[in-house]
Structure 1
Amino acid sequence: MSNMGARVTRLFRNFNLENRVHREIARAKPEAAPRHQTHVDPVHSTHISDAIHKKDDSLLTLLKSVYVESKDPTIEAIKEGTKEEVRRPLVCSLPGDPYGIVDISDVPKGKLSIVEALKALNNHKNAPQTWTVDKVSQEYSLDLKDTKALLEHFFPFEVKIIPPKTKDAKQIKDS
């Protein structure tokens, strides 16, 4: 049965095939887009190539007067050149090792640990009059503009309990 279906489709597919092919070949072909015209003057281009290949004595004498001497730095010079970053002791930390973080005793100045950042944000949120931008900046040895951006754009987590619409619904009680 499927053989018969294939024959019918082949019949419709090949119907008047030769006539359709001749019509397609006789149809006018699209013209190619015109080429971009260049505005290069042949006289000017030879002048540039001559100037490139011509030897200039004044530049050659200047090049000969240049002397470059290169030396690798010694290990002592490298050690003297690198300054150790100033570190400060932690203001607060979590007891124990709850998150698998190695005990950190100090951090570089201008940086905060996660615990210190959360504590600073929470202090500023709870008492913004006492924990001002200046005080937080001074307490944690931070840059003033960084501290201002931190307190303006980051907020500690806030849990809001929405009361149920009906009095029969169960609600989690604050402990």
Structure 2
Amino acid sequence: MGARVTRVFRNFNLENRAHREIGKAKPRAAPRHPMHKDIVKEIGESREITEAIHQKNDPLLSLLKSVYVESKDPPAQQSAKQPEALTVKDIERRPLKFSHPGDPYGILEITDVPKGKLSIVEALTALSNHKRSPKTWTAEKIAEEYSLDLKDTKALLEFFIPFEVKIIPPKTVDTKRIKDT
């Protein structure tokens, strides 16, 4: 119903409005910028500019010839800021505390990890231990147990909360729950 009403107002006096719009004076177009070819023709006609372009400038040429650049790489120095490149054999490793039973995904069984790192199983175990008993599994104890940095361990415990399920109770008692059905 509303579409019919809007269509009536939209089509009212349509032909007169169209003729009025067509009959309006059109705005004048802006003047075009002189084209590149015109500029090149003007420059080509001017002999002074052409001669200045092709003329040698002896003072500038002598200054250019006097410039001499010699480049050498600085000798490679081992500074205190740049540690030596570590190979896989040089990294300190520690044996795993926990691992997956069996080989469910066809992944090679990992036996050790670098110090300062955790495997996924170890991370989940440490987080669940801390969640169950935070007084015994403090950040310091977890850092010592898994050879981690204390700052990283505190960040891990603060920002990664595994398996936290919150059940929000319904607002009214009449609402059905999954357990009720």
Does residue 96 in structure 1 map to residue 102 in structure 2? yes
1:107 match: secondary structure: strand
Kindly report which structure 2 residues correspond to 1:9-28, keeping only aligned pairs within 5 A, or say none.
20=22, 27-28=26-27
2:140 counterpart residue number:
134
TM-score relative to the length of structure 1: 0.53
> Which amino acid in the other structure matches residue 64 of structure 2?
K
1:154 counterpart residue number:
160
> Which amino acid in the other structure matches residue 142 of structure 1?
L
Cα distance change, pair 160–83 in 1 and its aligned pair in 2 (3 A): same
1:6 counterpart residue number:
none
1:171 counterpart residue number:
179
Q: Give 1:83's match in structure 2, choosing from 83, 87, 94.
A: 87
Cα distance change, pair 82–159 in 1 and its aligned pair in 2 (3 A): closer
CA distance in 1, matches of 2:147, 2:74: 44
Does residue 124 in structure 1 map to residue 133 in structure 2? no
Cα distance change, pair 30–115 in 1 and its aligned pair in 2 (3 A): same
> Which amino acid in the other structure matches residue 151 of structure 1?
L
CA distance in 1, matches of 2:128, 2:60: 69
TM-score relative to the length of structure 2: 0.51
> Which amino acid in the other structure matches residue 130 of structure 2?
H
2:64 match: secondary structure: coil
After superposition, the C-alpha distances for 1:91-125 in whole angstroms (9 at most, x for unaligned) are 11122123443211111111111110000001111
Computed over aligned residues only, the root mean square deviation of the Cα atoms, in angstroms, reads: 4.1
Cα distance change, pair 156–29 in 1 and its aligned pair in 2 (3 A): same
Could you tell me which runs of 5 or more consecutive residues in structure 1 were left unpaired when the two chains were aligned: 1-11, 35-49, 71-79
Distance apart, 1:52 and its partner CA: 7.5
The percentage of counterpart residues that share the same residue type is: 51
Cα distance change, pair 122–81 in 1 and its aligned pair in 2 (3 A): closer
1:55 counterpart residue number:
64
Could you tell me which runs of 5 or more consecutive residues in structure 2 were left unpaired when the two chains were aligned: 1-14, 34-56, 76-83
> Which amino acid in the other structure matches residue 119 of structure 1?
T
Cα distance change, pair 146–68 in 1 and its aligned pair in 2 (3 A): closer
> Which amino acid in the other structure matches residue 142 of structure 2?
V
